[in-house]
Amino acid sequence: MSVQSYLQDKSKVIDTYLESLFTQGEVPQQNLYHAAKYSLLAGGKRLRPALAIATAEAFGCDESKVLRTACAIEMIHTYSLIHDDLPCMDDDDFRRGKPTLHKVFPESHAVLAGDFLLTHAFHLVASDPHLSDSQKVSLISLLSSSAGDVGMIGGQIMDIEAEGKAVDLKTLETIHSNKTGAMITASIETGAIIAGIEDKYIKQLREFGQNIGLAFQVIDDILDVTSSQEELGKTSASDIINNKSTYVSLMGVDEARQKAQDLLISAKGILEELPLQTAYLNDIADYVVSRSH
Amino acid sequence: MSVQSYLQDKSKVIDTYLESLFTQGEVPQQNLYHAAKYSLLAGGKRLRPALAIATAEAFGCDESKVLRTACAIEMIHTYSLIHDDLPCMDDDDFRRGKPTLHKVFPESHAVLAGDFLLTHAFHLVASDPHLSDSQKVSLISLLSSSAGDVGMIGGQIMDIEAEGKAVDLKTLETIHSNKTGAMITASIETGAIIAGIEDKYIKQLREFGQNIGLAFQVIDDILDVTSSQEELGKTSASDIINNKSTYVSLMGVDEARQKAQDLLISAKGILEELPLQTAYLNDIADYVVSRSH
């Protein structure tokens, strides 16, 4: 199976699971569910949950064991996009090809739907019947630090504070390894924890994650200036509009492309040392760098 | 020891613990910590963590075992206040006697500090060295549902959507048992889980929590119209400003006071049936109804 078909297959399974959540019908909090589902089912790439599943499968663990936690990760990702798009943050009007949540629902509902998705992600993991208590605790500890001050939220604060300032490459890398890299790495580690693999491999997988996480961001920066809003599904040239330093603004498109290639080679080198049973992690790394949106 | 001294003692222990968190000095995300601490250390009543500790102590469990999770609950409470005060929500300028977070820091930092406190609360519980994995999972499951769609956030959505509408007493009770009651009840249940008490008592403690949770809200509604901003530490008459139905607007002050008394009597009746080793839960129930801010 090609990596495109593999990712399409996983997206379908993930979407079906996400669609099955909170379908309580007419309840007083129904608009919370409608708002959360509007963003959750807007058709993202599902890269993070796919990485969790692909990692688990690469070590012989069945998709069914990791699906629920993988979807919890997608909920954390979606909440971060909802809050990031708010008027007081990046003030974005489009996301995943649709108007952002606060353009369709009241802004209060966007704040609360984000809060809910984050909260419910931890509930999904804590109540996952496929996991042992020890696995649940490891996963919640991992996800709450990767999504928190030493990860995603920390990166978002740095990103906002860097707007309009001259930022060097090292600072840019710190921002992105926190803002984007931490949750991509955590997705891979999630698959490894659920598959129950040895600690020594987890360390290597983390390095793999850091490389493709950064490559993902470099490509994002390139696509922001080379693609149209239609292709991206979100406002293009938004980094220029928000006066943000990017790999492209600091290195130019060609050098940025080279940087992404170098990161890809490092990432694939790490995988070669691991006893993987499938090649999809390798193929997803290729996809991250070759993607067009 | 009087209940006032007991609550003051607990507040000190809780404040000292909260102050000890995230003191990493000069780090790129330091303004996230400053923002979070601004609200976290603004001197709230600490009712929820005190209830968790008092419940555990009433069953012979030491304060030191429950302190960290109790502080996690206070972080969830504080995050909810920060987001609730945002311009797109209640748009409040004062809280706990100080300007609200978004009046002192950029609004983006208020959103992210709230997100961080919620995320970090789960991290604190998942990494608490005093708890077994099974206790951690029970607590995270409890807190994520009580703070989520079937609790606090669900109640906030209902509350916002009820603004400006005629609401009956039954609806008002549903709103408040979700928005306020769920986390107050969860605080009590937290103490019970950490103390390791029998399930049959947990059911009774939950009923106790529902009664004092509702009594707390009835008193809040009364204080909103009978106290000054100075006494409350937040904008007074805010329910009238926000066009919200309250126990006072539906029943009048006298009947609302009677309702709080009835709830108090029910709550104290439940406690009489429990094998408690201290009377502080009983005294805190009295305090909830007799408090002046």
Tell me the per-residue pLDDT of A220-244, one tens digit each, with 9 for 90 and over.
Answer: 999 988 887 767 677 666 777 777 8
Taking an 8 Å cut-off on Cβ atoms, the answer to whether B112 and A149 are in contact is no
In whole angstroms, give the CA distance from residue A246 to residue A232: 17
Q: Pick out chain B residues at pLDDT < 70.
A: 230, 232, 235-237
The pLDDT of residue A225:
87
Whether the CB-CB separation of A232 and A224 falls below 8 Å is answered with yes
Beta strand pairing call for A98-99 and B94-95: unpaired
Distance from CA of A85 to the nearest CA of B (A): 11
In whole angstroms, give the CA distance from residue B237 to residue B170: 22
Chain B, 48 to 87: residues with Cβ < 8 Å from chain A are 79, 83, 86
Check CB contact of B108 with chain A, cutoff 8 Å: yes
**What is the CA A143 to chain-centroid distance, rounded?**
12
Reported as a single tens digit per residue, the pLDDT across A49-77 is 999 999 999 999 999 999 999 999 999 99
Reported as a single tens digit per residue, the pLDDT across A196-227 is 999 999 999 999 999 999 999 999 999 988 88
Distance from CA of B240 to the nearest CA of A (A): 19
Taking an 8 Å cut-off on Cβ atoms, the answer to whether B115 and A157 are in contact is no
Give the residue from A49, A44, A48 showing the smallest Cα distance to A63: A49
Chain A, 140 to 159: residues with Cβ < 8 Å from chain B are 140-141, 144-145, 147-150, 153-154, 156-158
Which chain A residues are within 8 Å of B174, Cβ to Cβ? 28
Check CB contact of B272 with chain A, cutoff 8 Å: no
The pLDDT of residue B164:
86
Choose the closest CB to A136 out of B106, B118, B137.
B137
In whole angstroms, give the CA distance from residue B50 to residue A191: 38
Chain B, 206 to 225: residues with Cβ < 8 Å from chain A are none
The pLDDT of residue A19:
95
The pLDDT of residue A291:
85
In whole angstroms, give the CA distance from residue B85 to residue B107: 11
Which chain B residues are within 8 Å of A106, Cβ to Cβ? 88, 160
Task: Quote the DSSP letter at residue B151.
Answer: T
The total of other beta-carbon atoms located within 10 Å of residue A291's CB is 13
Choose the closest CB to B148 out of A89, A108, A120.
A120
Choose the closest CB to A108 out of B22, B79, B160.
B160
Cβ-based contacts under 8 A for chains A and B: 156
Taking an 8 Å cut-off on Cβ atoms, the answer to whether A115 and B118 are in contact is yes
Choose the closest CB to A141 out of B127, B145, B154.
B127
Taking an 8 Å cut-off on Cβ atoms, the answer to whether B112 and A83 are in contact is yes
Taking an 8 Å cut-off on Cβ atoms, the answer to whether A161 and B122 are in contact is no
Query: Which of A86, A122, A170 is best to mutate for the B interface (most B CBs within 10 A)?
Result: A122
Give the residue from B121, B123, B82, B105 showing the smallest Cα distance to B31: B105
Q: CB-based contacts of A112: which residues, under 8 Å, 6+ apart?
A: A32, A35, B83, B153, B156, B157, B160
Which chain B residues are within 8 Å of A112, Cβ to Cβ? 83, 153, 156-157, 160
Q: State ipTM.
A: 0.95
The pLDDT of residue B236:
66
Check CB contact of A162 with chain B, cutoff 8 Å: no
Could you tell me what percent of chain B has a pLDDT over 70?
A: 98
In whole angstroms, give the CA distance from residue B55 to residue A87: 42
Structure tokens at B34: 């400053």
pLDDT bin (cut points 50, 70, 90) of residue A83 is very high
Choose the closest CB to B144 out of A110, A126, A171.
A126
Which chain B residues are within 8 Å of A29, Cβ to Cβ? 149-150, 153-154, 157-158, 178
Taking an 8 Å cut-off on Cβ atoms, the answer to whether A115 and B115 are in contact is yes
Choose the closest CB to A119 out of B126, B153, B178.
B153
pLDDT bin (cut points 50, 70, 90) of residue A17 is very high
The tokens 């604060």 sit on which residue?
A157
Which chain A residues are within 8 Å of B119, Cβ to Cβ? 118, 144, 147-149, 153
Reported as a single tens digit per residue, the pLDDT across A170-186 is 999 999 999 999 999 99
The pLDDT of residue A142:
98
Check CB contact of A134 with chain B, cutoff 8 Å: yes
Taking an 8 Å cut-off on Cβ atoms, the answer to whether B29 and A154 are in contact is yes
In whole angstroms, give the CA distance from residue B227 to residue B222: 8
Choose the closest CB to A133 out of B111, B134, B148.
B134
pLDDT bin (cut points 50, 70, 90) of residue A140 is very high
Arithmetic mean of pLDDT, A3-26? 93
pLDDT bin (cut points 50, 70, 90) of residue A23 is confident
